């Protein structure tokens, strides 16, 4: 069993605190992904789990053992580095088995594990090569192979795919998910690619400036972001944000005025809101309606197209509202609109989010019903 408990971890470099009181648990066998903007502390947190970095405060418990003061090798974790960190002077086979040799594992056992890992990763024919004779994807596999043979309870990955080209990235993503299914080990994965996060994670930890913004299953974060940051960070293209004025607060929700005058009642609770105040309205590009459906929505706003991207299966319309705020609409299929044209865009009240002045998401009065 290799569940991880991160308990009130704080870390500072000099006067600069990079992790603030981080607490959460990772279940045994879970695939957990850290995302967040550059510099938010993802790598630092991962390295703290690995034992390569010492926290100033807090505890790390892996598999029920407090490993806070243990050296990396004793923690039962394996790490795949962004730069792969293969030993340049050793062959692929030596790279993979070196740790086992150092730890005096029985040679027959080493051979068996090497074979199994090489077969699984399809690198059998590369075993005698040196790292510099490998492509990026092959190096990545070797790095993964090196971690697999140690049979760790926990795998740690720091942006392992960021040096690969787009196509290979998609392929390796699928392979890592398959690997996780096969090994059933706990995996902690750092990325700032939210597609990787969404597709691979059982749960995502969103970090920002060394603090946890939200933890949850990918779709849970997508549908129920707790704050404006998570709402804007998860999803591509990003959620649209419009600054709106509160008209009234009632049992039915919060009524706000959209750019151009239409009013709409968003079914969320706003106990602390007063009419005349400002809130931010968030709505995902795919929840805005274009074309014939727009008229049936709760309200329409006029949007002047600045760019229409036709991707075949879907169309992205980038435009501005009457107030000059940028907006993206995503529509499946094709769309006749063109550049500079002003089109009506339908807004469905039940799919809108409201964020108060502190960026907190206001609770919906009833679960949002997302279109299938």
Partner 1 sequence: MSPQTADAIKRFLHAAGIVVVLVMILFPLYWMVAGSLKTQPELFAIPPHWTWAPTLDAYREAIADSGVLRALGNSLIVTLSAVALGLVVGVPAAYGIARYSFRGRREIWFWYVTNWMLVPVVVLIPFYLTAARLHMINNPLTLIAVYQIFIIPLVVWLMVDQFRSVPVALEEAAQLDGLNRFQIFLRISLPLVTPGLAVSAVLSGIFAWNDLLYAFILTPGDEVRTAPTIALSYLGGYTIPWPKVMATSTLVTAPVIIGGIAIHKYVARGLTMGAVK
Ligand X SMILES: Nc1ncnc2c1ncn2[C@@H]1O[C@H](COP(=O)(O)OP(=O)(O)OP(=O)(O)O)[C@@H](O)[C@H]1O
79: β partners: 156
**Residue 268 binds which of ligand X, partner 1, Mg ion, none (CB < 5-8 A, kind-dependent):** none
Residue 79 found at the interface with partner 1 (CB under 8 A): yes
- Backbone φ and ψ of 367, nearest 5°: -55, 140
Q: Does 153 bind partner 1 (CB under 8 A)?
A: no
Residue 83 site contact among ligand X, Mg ion, partner 1, none (CB < 5 to 8 Å, cut-off depends on kind) = partner 1
Q: 189 vs 144, 145, 201, CA distance in Å?
A: 13, 16, 8
Structure tokens at 141: 């596999």
- 241: CB partners within 8 A, 6+ apart: 228, 232, 280, 281, 282, 325, 355
> Residue 292's binding partner, choosing from ligand X, Mg ion, partner 1, none, with beta-carbon cut-off 5 to 8 A by kind?
none
* Residue 164 engages partner 1 in binding (rule: CB under 8 A): no
Binding segment for partner 1 (CB under 8 A), chosen from 99-107, 233-241, 247-255, 302-310, is 99-107
Q: Which two tokens stand for residue 3?
A: 């569940």
Residue 348 sits in the site that holds partner 1 (CB under 8 A) = no
Q: Is the Cβ–Cβ distance between 346 and 300 less than 8 Å?
A: yes
Taking CB under 8 A as the criterion, the residue among 88, 276, 313, 324 binding partner 1 is: 88
**In this structure, what token pair is assigned to residue 208?**
């920002």
Q: Which is nearer to ligand X, 44 or 300 (CB)?
A: 44
C-alpha of 352 from chain center: 22
Q: Which two tokens stand for residue 288?
A: 């805005």
Q: From the list partner 1, ligand X, Mg ion, none, which binds 131 (C-beta under 5 to 8 Å, kind-based)?
A: partner 1
CB of residue 159 vs partner 1: minimum separation in angstroms? 12
Which two structure tokens, joined as six digits, stand for 314? 């879907």
Pairing of strands 203-208, 211-216: antiparallel
Nearer to ligand X (CB atom), residue 13 or residue 370: 13
78 binds partner 1 (CB under 8 A): yes
**C-beta nearest to Mg ion: residue:** 43
Cα–Cα distance measured from residue 198 to residue 204, given in angstroms and rounded to the nearest whole number: 8
Omega into 237 within 30° of 0, i.e. cis? yes
120, containing H or E segment: helix 107-121
Stretch that binds partner 1, among 94-102, 160-168, 229-237, 279-287 (CB under 8 A): 94-102
Rounded least distance, CB 44 to Mg ion, Å: 8
**Cβ closer to ligand X: 81 or 98?**
81
Our measurement of the distance from residue 289's CA atom to the centroid of its chain's CA atoms, rounded to an integer in Å, reads 27
Q: Which of 250, 245, 216, 256 is nearest to 233 (CA)?
A: 216
Least separation in angstroms between residue 191's CB and Mg ion is 9
Residue nearest to ligand X (CB): 43
- By the criterion CB under 6 A, which residues form the site for ligand X? 13, 18, 36, 38-44, 192
DSSP, res 296: G
Between CA 370 and CA 16 the distance in angstroms is 42
Binder of residue 180, out of ligand X, Mg ion, partner 1, none (CB less than 5 to 8 A by kind): none
Q: Which tokens go with 24?
A: 């959460």
The span of 80-88, 211-219, 286-294, 325-333 binding partner 1 (CB under 8 A) equals: 80-88
Q: How far apart are CA 119 and CA 21, in angstroms?
A: 42
Shortest distance (Å) from residue 369 CB to partner 1: 48
Nearer to ligand X, 50 or 134 (CB): 50
Give the residue with the Cβ less far from partner 1, 146 or 287.
146
Query: Is residue 43 near Mg ion by the rule CB under 5 A?
Result: yes
Question: Which residues are near Mg ion by CB under 5 A?
Answer: 43
Question: Which residues are near partner 1 by CB under 8 A?
Answer: 50, 52, 71-73, 77-79, 81-83, 85-89, 98-99, 102-103, 131-132, 146, 150
């Amino acid at each position: 069993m290799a569940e991880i408990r991160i308990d009130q971890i704080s870390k500072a470099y000099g006067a600069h605190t990079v992790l603030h009181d981080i607490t959460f648990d990772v279940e045994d066998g879970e695939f957990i992904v850290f995302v967040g903007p550059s510099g938010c502390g993802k790598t630092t947190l991962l390295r703290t789990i690995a034992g390569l970095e010492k926290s100033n405060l807090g505890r790390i418990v892996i598999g029920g053992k407090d490993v806070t003061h243990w050296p990396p090798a004793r923690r039962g974790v394996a790490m795949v580095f962004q730069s792969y960190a293969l030993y340049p002077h050793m062959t692929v086979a030596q790279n993979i088995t070196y740790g086992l040799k150092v730890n005096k594992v029985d040679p027959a056992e080493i051979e068996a594990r090497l074979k199994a890992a090489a077969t699984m990763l399809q690198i059998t024919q590369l075993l005698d090569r040196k790292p510099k004779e490998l492509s990026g994807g092959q190096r990545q596999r070797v790095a993964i192979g090196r971690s697999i043979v140690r049979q760790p309870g926990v795998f740690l990955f720091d942006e392992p795919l960021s040096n690969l080209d787009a196509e290979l990235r998609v392929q390796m993503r699928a392979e890592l998910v398959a690997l996780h299914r096969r090994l059933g080990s706990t995996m902690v994965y750092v990325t700032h690619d939210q597609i990787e996060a969404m597709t691979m994670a059982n749960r995502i930890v969103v970090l920002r400036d060394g603090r946890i913004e939200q933890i949850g299953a990918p779709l849970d974060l997508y549908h129920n972001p707790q704050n404006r940051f998570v709402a804007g960070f998860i999803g591509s293209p990003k959620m649209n944000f419009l600054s709106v004025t509160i008209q009234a607060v009632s049992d039915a929700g919060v009524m706000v005025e959209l750019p151009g005058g239409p009013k709409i009642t968003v079914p969320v609770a706003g106990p602390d809101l007063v009419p005349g105040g400002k809130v931010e309205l968030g709505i995902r590009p795919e929840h805005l309606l274009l074309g014939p459906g727009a008229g049936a929505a709760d309200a329409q706003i006029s949007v002047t197209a600045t760019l229409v991207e036709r991707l075949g299966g879907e169309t992205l319309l980038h435009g501005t509202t009457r107030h000059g705020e940028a907006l993206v609409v995503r529509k499946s299929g094709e769309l006749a609109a063109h550049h500079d044209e002003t089109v009506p865009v339908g807004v469905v009240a039940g799919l809108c989010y409201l964020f108060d002045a502190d960026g907190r998401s206001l609770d919906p009065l009833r679960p949002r019903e997302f279109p299938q």
